[in-house]
Structures are given as structure tokens and as C-alpha cells.
Amino acid sequence: MTTLTYRTLANTQEHLEDTALAEFSSMLRGAVITPQDSIYDQARQLWNGMVDRYPALIVRCLGTQDVCHAVDFAREHRMQLSIRGGGHHIAGNAIAEGGMTIDLSAMRSVHVDSRQGIARIDPGALLGDVDRESQAFGLASPLGINSTTGFAGLCLGGGFGWLTRRFGLTADNLLSADIVTADGQRHWVSADSEPDLFWAIRGGGGNFGVVTSFELRLHSAGPEVYAGLVVYPFEQARQVLHAWRDFTANSSEELSVWTVLRQAPPLPFLPESVHGQKVVVFALVHSGDVDTAEREAAPVLSFGEPVGHMLGVQPYTGFQAAFDPLLTPGARNYWKSHNFSRLDDEMLDSVIAATAQLPGPECEIFIAQLGGAMARVDPTATAYAGRDAQYMMNIHGRWQEAADDERCRDWARRSFSDLSPYATGGGYVNFLTEDEGERVAAAYGVNYTRLQAIKQQYDPDNLFRTNLNITPHVGEAVA
């Protein structure tokens, strides 16, 4: 009789006999993948190539009952446990080293009820899946900007994108969810059903259980939008960033304009002489009337003297995937992020200085314009607390070779430190790296104590800990 070795919640090693594993496997519609299986190495790969972890077993679920069995098995054996949706989170928390990974990637169904304006989304669905199905009816909800990102992780951490200024966060549009908690029980949560748990999963990440179905509000947007890029030479950075800051202070909520500072990729509308040179890119989406969109976006072309631009009406789904070629899986990634309530001159100077020291052609700094509908939600209305962020910045270190790890990480950390005096002190959990656990409490701000109390209620043993963890806390009753 052979045994499988796994890591416990106490970080000890235990053994699981084949008979126990076989009995567990027989209960599933899905499959159990172990290191002996030929697909194991493929199954443990994540988007961030820096993450190289070896789970003891991967449970590829095909439905809620599989999830219940997997949670029960992990709890009964005190196994380290992780949850994989899209596997896109920068920290790589989808894989528990030596533990069990509940893999939801095969559960990718998206059903749109166009009459109700609602999408029902499985936990393995990617953003591209949601966009394709909802846009068939001219409907959309705020999502991220990379179509291969998993919907579940995005939504549970808050979620923002081109439509956030108009319609709020992804989590703001969550109407209900089915969730399996640490005791293996199923819960349907909404504003009227177990409202504390529903409050917690709108920004609290995977700390409270495994969500097996999401019900998302959709809005009329698309299927075509006015969108595109305007590119300026880096030498004009100070001028154009100041102009962008002033413009975004009063722009329409139907319009989102983000900036990216990086080396220019070989985009077809840019002269070859610009390729590989540092540039300031403004990416924009206007989700309203086309004539209005063109007029309201026009000032972006006059921030300075652009070296190229590509603006026009295009499919919303196309622009949602426009940055996919720059965000393909397998590269090495390290991020540092900040929230800002305003962009001071000194802050922008610091961004320019950091860009001048880019350590590689794939590294970049982007600043997303937020505010609007997102900012009008009370910071205590959902677990997501960063409603004061008018802008969110990600210092995105990305490279290919392990030999460049130290150099690229040091650049990201140094740039983050230089920009810290101008930031709100909050954060976005979907952008926090594995070594930023100390920022979790700050990210949740006034909501952290309540989150700890709900964690204590639903997961007192902290089974769901392979994440940006909210620790259980015995305290006053949940408000």
C-alpha cells in the first residue's frame, strides 16, 4: 500500500493512504490529480511564472457537490488548502505548496438572462467568457482589462475596469452567490439572505469559502464603444501627465482614461523609430453615444504632440482583450500598487523618475482613473473599503529570465517606496503580492475588524488561509 504525503494546517507532514484517496476520488464527478499523473505539471501552472509550487493533490471539480466533498476532505485531514479559479493572481495563492488545490477551472459556464439583465457565472469562468456571453445582448458589467483573468478572483477582491466610473466595481454589481463554507455547507447569500457573509465576499477575497456561482447585474453597454490609444514621447511626460490629471478631474463618467508608461511595443500605428522607446500611453474607453464620445475624448489628442494614435469605434470585447498580448501567461511578474486620492506634481515627477529607470522592455507603470460611481458607495457598504481612490497605480515588473529577478523586484520596491508619501495608505488586494501580508489590514481599513468577526463565524480554524489572509477574531458581535 502506498501513501501520499501532504502538508497540514500546522505545517507538519502527514501521510494519506491510497485507499482513503481512492474512496475520496470515487465520490467526485471530477478528477483528482496527483504528482504521478502525466497532466500534473500542466495542472499546477499559474499565470505568474515566478510561482512554482507542488501541491499534493489537485481536485478538478465539476460542480458544487465536488466542492463540498473536497472542502470536507481537506478539513477532516487538516490539509493546507487553496482555491484556483483563473489562476491569475500575482501572489500565486491558487496553489498550496504540499496541500490540496480545489481547481474550478473546468466550471466555466456563463448564462445571461437578457430580460432580467443578469448573468449567472461559474467560478472558473474567465473575463472573456463573461464578456462574450453578455455582449451578445449588448450588456456588460465592470470587469478587468485582461480577458484571461478569472472572474471569481476579480469579483471577490473588488474588481475594476473601463466601466467602473459609470457602474461601480464588479463586486458592487454582485446580486447573490452560492458559497461552500469551511464546514462543507452550502449557502445562498444576498442582501437579504445571510447579509453579513454577502457583505464580506464583496471585496474580502476567498477568505470565507468557495463561491460556486455568481449572479451579476448587467448594464446596457456596447457591443461597440469608442476606444483606443494615444501615444506621446517620454520627453513630454511631465506636460501630458499634468494635462491628463487636469482633464480627468472633470471628465464624464462614461469616459475612462488610463495612462501607461513603458517602452513602446511594435504597434502598427507607431513609427518604427518609436518601437522600444519610452512613451506615455493614454488608453481610453467611452461607453456612451459615439458622437458624444468623440467630442469628450478629443482633448486627449491635444495634451502634447503625439507620435501616434488609434481611436475609433470598435467592439467592446475586442478592446477588453487588446492588452492580452502584453499579459500572456508564463512570464515572471512582481507588482507593487498604490491608491491615490489626487495626483500631486511631486507624485507625477516620482512616476516619471521611476519610468526613466525601467529595468526591462516589459516593465511598466500604469495609473487607472477611478472615482465616479465607485466613489459614491459608502466605504462600509461592502468589504471593499478603498472608495477614496480616484486613481490606482500598479508598478508592474515583468520579465522572462530568473537572473533578472532581483533587479526587477528592486526597481518595483524602490519605486513603490518613493511614491508612498503621496498615496492613501490603502490598497487593492487583487494587486498585493505574496510578501505583502502586512498590507491586508490597511487595504480593508475600517472594515477589517468586521471581516475578522465574520471570518471567526464562518471559518474559525482558518481553513481558507492560502490567500491575502484575514485572520479569525473573537470580538464583538458583527454590526
Give the number of C-alpha atoms closer than 13 A to the C-alpha of residue 93, restricted to the C-beta side: 23
Give Rg (Cα) of the chain: 22
| Interior angle at CA 12, CA 9 and CA 15, nearest 5 | 100
As a whole number of angstroms, the longest Cα–Cα distance in the chain is 73
SS3 state of residue 439: helix
| Interior angle at CA 311, CA 305 and CA 316, nearest 5 | 145
pLDDT tens-digit readout, 239-291: 999 999 999 999 999 999 999 999 999 999 999 999 999 999 999 999 999 88
Residue length of the chain: 479
Q: Measure Cα distances from 457 to 78, 189, 374 in Å.
A: 18, 15, 29
d(CA 332, CA 341): 30
pLDDT tens-digit readout, 352-410: 999 999 999 999 999 999 999 999 999 999 999 999 999 999 999 999 999 999 999 99
Q: Which three cell numbers stand for residue 190?
A: 444576498
* Cβ atoms 14, 8 nearer than 8 A: yes
Residue 302 has pLDDT above 50, yes or no: yes
Q: Which three cell numbers stand for residue 462?
A: 482558518
Residue 479 pLDDT: 40
Identity of the residue numbered 110: V
Q: Which three cell numbers stand for residue 48?
A: 505568474
DSSP-derived pairing of the beta strands 210-217 and 118-121? antiparallel
d(CA 309, CA 229): 6
Q: What is the pTM of this model?
A: 0.95
Dihedral, CA of residue 414, residue 404, residue 436 and residue 155, to nearest 10: 110
CB count, 10 Å around CB of 136?
12
d(CA 176, CA 168): 16
SS3 state of residue 282: strand
Residue 478 has pLDDT above 70, yes or no: no
Mean pLDDT of 109-127: 98
pLDDT tens-digit readout, 41-94: 999 999 999 999 999 999 999 999 999 999 999 999 999 999 999 999 999 999
Residue 473 pLDDT: 84
* Cβ atoms 363, 397 nearer than 8 A: yes
Mean pLDDT of 225-241: 98
Could you give the domains of the chain?
A: 3-103 (3.30.43.10), 110-221+444-458 (3.30.465.10), 224-436 (3.40.462.20)
d(CA 106, CA 58): 12
